[in-house]
Structure 1
Amino acid sequence: MGKVQCNHCHLSFDDGVMIKEGDLNFCCKGCQGVYHLLKDDGLESFYDKLGNKTISPPIEINDDVQRFDTKSFEDTFITETNNGFKQIDLIIEGIHCAACVWLNEKVLYETPGIISADINFTNNKAKIIWDNEKINLSDIILKIRSIGYNAYAYDASVADEQAVKSKREYFIRMMVAVFASMNIMMLAVAKYTGFFTGIDEQIRNYIHIAEFILATPVLFYSGWIFFRGAYFGLKNKILNMDFLVSSGASLTYIYSLFVMFGAKGESYFDSVVMIITFVLVGKYLEVIGKKSAVDTLDKIKSSIPLEATIVEDGVKKTVALNNIKVGDTIEIRSGEKVCIDGVITSGEGSFDESSLTGESIPVFKKMGDNIFSGTINNDSLIRYEATKTYKDSTLSSIVTLLEESLSSKPEIEYKANEVSKGFTVSILTLSLLTFLVWYFFGIDLGFDYEGTNHFEKSFIVAISVIVIACPCALALATPIASLIGISELAKKGLLFKEAKFIETLAKADTLVLDKTGTITKGELKVKRAKIKDENIHKLNLLYSLLEASNHPISKSVKKYLEAKYDNLQLKNIYGVKNIQAKGMIGKYENVEGKTFHLLGGNIELLKDNKINYKFDSSNSVYIFAINRRVIATFELADEIKEDAKELISYAKANDINVVMLTGDNEDVAKKVASKVGIDNFVANVDPIGKAKYIKKLKEEGKIVIMAGDGINDSVALASSDISVAMGNSADITISVSDVVLLNNSLQSLKEAFEISKRTFKFIKQNLLLSLVYNMITIPLAMAGFVIPLVAAASMSLSSLLVVANSMRIKMKK
């Protein structure tokens, strides 16, 4: 027994306990793990610095999993949910089909301490939420590894690199199979021709040997992914689609070996090759189909710059987006993209917002206006103050929402997964029964396999049953359609936070709409104004109170004052409080210490504050009072959105009941409702009243969609089955909403209904196709009408049929 040196710690040890890896020698798994960790992180220069020195070997742990529990790792990759649970995005390596996703999710969901585990079928990204008091992240990683997959923290650049690597490896395996299948089919032509016309026994044996040489690498190299998936499925007591493919191909291969070595019958090496090839080609085409569906997400991601120019004390410097803080001054030149949301502090110009809203006409922005990440500065030098961090900015939030929506699943998919759970066991049982019936009873309803013995005939029919069954089509039916639906919705400026909302929207029977900013443009214009006291000091107080509000009425009155008076100034008012659906109150103290009580809003706000003032109008009203004395009144009217009537007509034509909820007065509500064709409306309702109305509809069994744009709508939105926020909504409204209309267009909401209904229809079609396929082909195989080669082609065809049918979602009627 000799001495060797460890490639990591440089200590000498007996070669009897050596861990050898090619030319490398390690004294323990710890050294081996650290060596690869340094190599993977590009830190091999450590060994140059170490020279001939020795170091203590690391404490032996299970590879590198303990790093997942470190504080630095948590700060970088782990977030905390509202419920106090931990959440992380992982990339899971080794997933090659929908069945792999199902296997990982099943194992993770059954692990104590894991709250949820949703895997994105398109990019293998897993969103995992767990209770850190019951399980550590390292234990979750070990669980994933135990079933034959690997996991690491999600990083967009690394994920793309891994995806390219995986696709390349997959392609090589497929091409090996394609090359072998092309050659083996030429041999098969000679063999089957000789079968009918006569062939020398020695030539026949040579053909068997040649087929064996071609089939072996296809089965054990190209088909390795199926064996691997089947092994880890069995290890976790799960029979999956990989088991069907690998068992069918293996049994056929073993039987053909017996024939090659002298047993009576015909070899089926060609069927082995074609089974693997057809399924691999089908899977590769699935990947291509999925890639075309996520192009929208890739396009949006490419709109995000990697760094920005900030100005500090007059000095410009380039920094990474993650390092930009709220309040930093950012400079963008003509043609550059806005990287983080902010407010313009210097300069003015037009901005291309088509990446967010789909609107091709540039929007002019000046000092004080908000600009959003992803938009393009067309024509001037602009400086602006960051109002959000990179993570919270508009475009980053859109990407996050899209990725999360692609990870989520509609309710119908969970039902489909339940159906597919016992599928493999059922197929194997049917295959065994088929063999027994054919072998012992001699039932033959199919083709006459002339020249084959009774066992061979029974065996081939049973194999055909295994190969032709396709649980993958059933598992693929919902995610591929949902993926394409989400992608199409995103192109229309519609962000769905979860894919399951497609199903809910398709089934909805009630649409509740806010008035101001939803049915109307929210751009109220002052039609009549009565200012009783034009003292500039009092007008400044009115102007300051209006500045503190984000409500469309306040904005319009402020705009009116700015157009009429040139010398308005903002005063330092305090104690500002928003009274939902009524207005705002505040206070101002002058230099002499005198306090002025300010009030601005509708007539209901005056009544609440015991101010006796009569004012009748069919328009929206804003009344301003100082110390209980009315100073000014404004009557405002809003314009109705051009596409509102079209949405209402569509809803009625599709048996969707439309209700308008508004805090405005009865006359205004009636006028708007009649113009757009709404029969049911509720006026003078506060935010709590809106929420109660929504809950009442739900108690009646209605599936309710609520669309709104103001803070006063947030409670009602949270109460509905699906909440829809307009793109110009307040942040709190967007945060509680399930769907965001980026372009504020009701035409988009109509398209949301159309695409959701179309997507849900195609999901049901896909499920029907996969079920009908299995109901027809499995009995045919059991009856002996299908040979394994045709069965393999049919199985792949069923998956491709589902993908092709889902692509039709993109086609308009």
Structure 2
Amino acid sequence: MKVACTHCQLEFDESVMIKEEEGSDVHYFCCKGCQGVFHLLRSEGLDTFYEKLGKNQLEPPKELQDDLHKFDLEGFRKKYIIERSDGLYEIFLIIEGIHCAACVWLNEKVLHQTPGVIEATINYTTNKAHVIWDPEQIKLSQIIEKIRAIGYNAYPYDPKMQEERANKARRDYYSRLLVAIFATMNIMWIAVAQYTGMFTGMRSDVKDVLNVAEWVLATPTLFYSGWVFFRGAWFGLKNRFVNMDLLVASGASLAYTYSIWAMVTGKGEVYFDSVTMIITFVLAGKYLEVLSKKRAADTMDALSNALPTEVTVIESDTKIMVPVEEVNPGDIIEVRAGEKVAIDGVVVSGEGSFDESSLTGESEPILKVKGDEIISGSVAIDGVVRYEATKDYGSSMLTTLVGLLEESLTKKPKIERLANEISGYFSLTILSIALLTFIGWLWMTGEFERALVVSISVIVIACPCALGLATPVATLIGINLAARRGVLFKEAAFIETMAKADVLVLDKTGTITEGKPHVVNAKMYSEYDLNLLYSLVKSSIHPVSQGIAHYLEEHYENLKELPLEGVKQVQARGIEAKFEEHKLLGGNAKMMQEFGVEVDEKSEYTLFIFAIDKEIVARFELRDLPKEGAKEAIAEIRKLGIDIVMLTGDNENAAKRIAKEVGVTDFKAGLFPEDKAKEIDFLHAEGRVVVMAGDGINDALALSKSDIAIAMGSGSDVALEVSDVVLLDDKITSLRDAFLISRRTFKFVKQNLALSVIYNSITIPLAIAGYVIPLVAALSMSLSSLMVVGNSMRIKSGFGK
């Protein structure tokens, strides 16, 4: 005999079912997963799910069933599934159909209850799930099937698909808002005519025509533009949440329904203008929220272009290109100038300079010789080096950093929003007051129409336009002001968190400093053709050579490049070349000595010596300089009561020198990316709200750990993606502006919320008492919104030029 599963309603033979007796009730389950979900829903008070389900089955549609096999194919596994060293599998999925925090909770709980699933975390902002499972106990297709069984869908994370979905959502909100704005602008002209007619007299037939015109405009606004509020209210009620969407939907619907009755019967006034204004104002706030969402494409996508996919492996003196995943410890890898190191190792032959600034923050290239360690993520500047891989690709430093970053982003705390903290209580309270008002007036007067009008007035006058606009309007003005000053806030809510910050962590190279060597001292020993030096340094991409070239271009005119012969890069030392009969040498003291040129002078800075035919003719000292205005900006930030800490991977001496020049007293040097992240964790443990500014891959992990991550506009793609705020002009003075604007904006957000509370405290009692008709309520609601907008405009006027 076949019986239905208590959870999914699918029928199977009773002999294969899990039978569970509970008093007089008998439950059958087709699997332990269904049994676990059933008890989970009951324990959390969500068993009304089965009442809504009725006799419907949770069996996925045929087209979804048919594609389950693809999740277990070998090609799919190689493309999307990560095989861990402990034998577990992990994948990133997009859960489709998530609308609220309750959806996240339900999916996580169901996955945790599924045998074989080790870990499951879902990011509500991106709907991205990180799932780890034991392939010996469960297949991915079974995990997907379980998610579909509770009414959602899941598919592997694909950046392109996510970007398309995000763009589709933005376009949908944009079209709905356009319809609402168009209807509101036109309906207000009609409303002006009606309001005027109330005092000057208007024929009833003209009034009827205007009422119909308003109805035509209000209908698409309510049912098309306002659909997002009906949907939000439904999901809220479904999960036992009373939200602002329910208040907007109920207020607008009641006003719309009453207006239709008034239009048809000719009794009372219509309030279609109130309907459109309610929807338009609050939808504008919703649209701002959609625009401010971070791109669904994850930070890791930016790294895909930065990580090499193949390396040159030496086998029996033969060079072959091998995918990075197939390289094993002990393999010999060759790396040439301009190539990025993909796997950690130790140099076995050759030597060359490597730029590690993106990982360690070290501003100067580092010479690597036999026996030195090479770090994945560094870039070869010159020379040809062969090194022995000491790790595989999955455990190399850069790959490990990516994994740590992914984990950190998944667990990043959500930013709290002041308005949302009270919106649920506010909405429930207003609806309760409106219902009690209706009952009270109906009992006192016995007039249904009068009671309905008064209760609608309560809902409309308390409609959370002012409350809903308190944050988005102020933050929008703050964001626009910041953008004009070179500061891009990726999300409006970040302004609030930054305003609460009490400590600023700064990277050194590229953040406080320019990130490239500048000539700080130049000495000419004898006259020579400057074009010779200019031509020599222009033939190299080395940062020191570029610094010399930049100095010459700034201080001398009419420079031209001469046709040099035999240009050769001397690894980690300099350049040699010939011009006509002259031998040109440019480089450090070690290179000069190797070519028999006597050098007596030393320098604490990077030294570049230029010699013609073994005679020194010029000497340059270079170092990384602080950015313009850095000292003054740091001093002003400190005046705001914010502590400043500098963290750098550079050496102690360089860090100490820069810290002294810009007025930073608290700094730590020689840090790797993990060390910087630990310092952020220490600050969090002390209860600090941390803002960090950085520009390189080495800063990405620490940036993701901070409450607000700020990236320089010229920084690495990874730093830009993980950041919450971007300084478009790279100026540290813009960092100061970011703090000033965020604090002033948040101050006005709180003022707006206070104004909204005061407004509701005065107007709601008046509406309950029957002194406010829906017409006045709508006007009052509009005025409260204008009051909030007008107050927010003061952010810009008060900030200065």
1:762 counterpart = 2:765: no
8 Å CA contact 1:322, 1:391 repeated in 2: no
8 Å CA contact 2:359, 2:377 repeated in 1: no
Aligned mate of 2:669, from 703, 708, 712: 708
Counterparts of 2:495 and 2:138 in 1: how far apart (Å)? 28
Counterparts of 1:172 and 1:239 in 2: how far apart (Å)? 27
Aligned mate of 2:758, from 775, 783, 797: 775
Deviation at 1:244, TM superposition (A): 1.1
Percent identity between matched residues is 26
Counterparts of 1:456 and 1:82 in 2: how far apart (Å)? 67
- Which sits farther off after the overlay, 104-113 or 772-781? 104-113
- List aligned pairs for 1:184-203, cutoff 5 A: 184-185=187-188, 188=191, 191-192=194-195, 195-196=198-199, 198=201, 201=204
CA deviation map 1:83-121 (0-9, x unaligned)? 9999865556678xxxx555656766887948864433x
Report the equivalent of 1:12.
Answer: none
CA deviation map 1:772-803 (0-9, x unaligned)? 32432563355338745446656876997899
Say if 1:655 and 1:434 are closer, same or farther in 2 by CA, change over 3 A. Answer: same
Say if 1:674 and 1:456 are closer, same or farther in 2 by CA, change over 3 A. Answer: closer
Deviation at 1:231, TM superposition (A): 0.9
Aligned mate of 2:463, from 463, 467, 474: 467
Counterparts of 1:338 and 1:808 in 2: how far apart (Å)? 49
8 Å CA contact 1:473, 1:799 repeated in 2: yes
Deviation at 1:249, TM superposition (A): 1.2
Report the equivalent of 2:280.
Answer: 277
Deviation at 1:236, TM superposition (A): 0.6
Aligned mate of 1:506, from 501, 506, 509: 501
Deviation at 1:243, TM superposition (A): 0.6
CA deviation map 1:584-623 (0-9, x unaligned)? xxxxxxxxxxxxxxxxxxxxxxxxxxxxxxxxxxx99xxx
8 Å CA contact 1:718, 1:737 repeated in 2: yes
Q: Secondary structure in 1 aligned to 2:124? A: strand
Say if 1:144 and 1:677 are closer, same or farther in 2 by CA, change over 3 A. Answer: same
8 Å CA contact 2:473, 2:789 repeated in 1: no
Counterparts of 2:304 and 2:484 in 1: how far apart (Å)? 18
Q: Secondary structure in 1 aligned to 2:241? A: coil
Report the equivalent of 2:262.
Answer: 259
Counterparts of 1:768 and 1:159 in 2: how far apart (Å)? 37
Report the equivalent of 1:50.
Answer: none
Say if 1:520 and 1:286 are closer, same or farther in 2 by CA, change over 3 A. Answer: closer
Tell me how large the CA RMSD over aligned residues is.
7.6
1:422 counterpart = 2:425: yes
Unaligned runs of 5+ in 1: 1-27, 42-63, 443-451, 524-554, 568-618, 621-636, 681-704
Q: Secondary structure in 2 aligned to 1:266? A: coil
CA deviation map 1:217-239 (0-9, x unaligned)? 43233322211111111011001
Q: Which amino acid is the alignment partner of residue 233 of structure 1?
A: G
Counterparts of 1:347 and 1:807 in 2: how far apart (Å)? 56
Q: Secondary structure in 2 aligned to 1:422? A: helix
Scaled by the length of structure 2, what TM-score is found?
0.52
Report the equivalent of 2:600.
Answer: none
Say if 1:228 and 1:708 are closer, same or farther in 2 by CA, change over 3 A. Answer: same
Aligned mate of 1:119, from 118, 124, 129: 124
Report the equivalent of 1:33.
Answer: 61
Q: Secondary structure in 2 aligned to 1:237? A: coil
Q: Secondary structure in 2 aligned to 1:467? A: coil
Counterparts of 1:566 and 1:767 in 2: how far apart (Å)? 68
Counterparts of 2:350 and 2:490 in 1: how far apart (Å)? 32
CA deviation map 1:697-718 (0-9, x unaligned)? xxxxxxxx86433359667665
Counterparts of 1:713 and 1:781 in 2: how far apart (Å)? 55
Say if 1:287 and 1:374 are closer, same or farther in 2 by CA, change over 3 A. Answer: farther
Deviation at 1:808, TM superposition (A): 10
Counterparts of 2:171 and 2:746 in 1: how far apart (Å)? 30
Counterparts of 2:89 and 2:478 in 1: how far apart (Å)? 27
Unaligned runs of 5+ in 2: 1-55, 113-118, 518-570, 574-586, 596-603, 606-620, 685-689, 716-726, 767-771
CA deviation map 1:510-565 (0-9, x unaligned)? 989999x9999999xxxxxxxxxxxxxxxxxxxxxxxxxxxxxxx999x9895476
Counterparts of 1:792 and 1:34 in 2: how far apart (Å)? 50
Deviation at 1:461, TM superposition (A): 1.6
Counterparts of 1:759 and 1:84 in 2: how far apart (Å)? 47
Say if 1:674 and 1:469 are closer, same or farther in 2 by CA, change over 3 A. Answer: closer
Report the equivalent of 1:218.
Answer: 221
- How many residue pairs end up in the alignment? 605
8 Å CA contact 2:475, 2:749 repeated in 1: no
Deviation at 1:158, TM superposition (A): 0.3
Deviation at 1:165, TM superposition (A): 2.1
- List aligned pairs for 1:610-689, cutoff 5 A: 642=626, 649-650=635-636, 653-654=639-640
8 Å CA contact 2:477, 2:795 repeated in 1: yes
Q: Which amino acid is the alignment partner of residue 222 of structure 2?
A: L
Q: Which amino acid is the alignment partner of residue 216 of structure 1?
A: T
Deviation at 1:177, TM superposition (A): 3.7
Q: Which amino acid is the alignment partner of residue 284 of structure 1?
A: Y
Counterparts of 1:202 and 1:421 in 2: how far apart (Å)? 43
Q: Which amino acid is the alignment partner of residue 502 of structure 2?
A: K
Say if 1:261 and 1:483 are closer, same or farther in 2 by CA, change over 3 A. Answer: closer
Counterparts of 2:94 and 2:216 in 1: how far apart (Å)? 37
Counterparts of 2:279 and 2:253 in 1: how far apart (Å)? 10
Counterparts of 2:58 and 2:200 in 1: how far apart (Å)? 65
Q: Which amino acid is the alignment partner of residue 258 of structure 2?
A: Y
1:268 counterpart = 2:235: no
8 Å CA contact 1:89, 1:125 repeated in 2: no
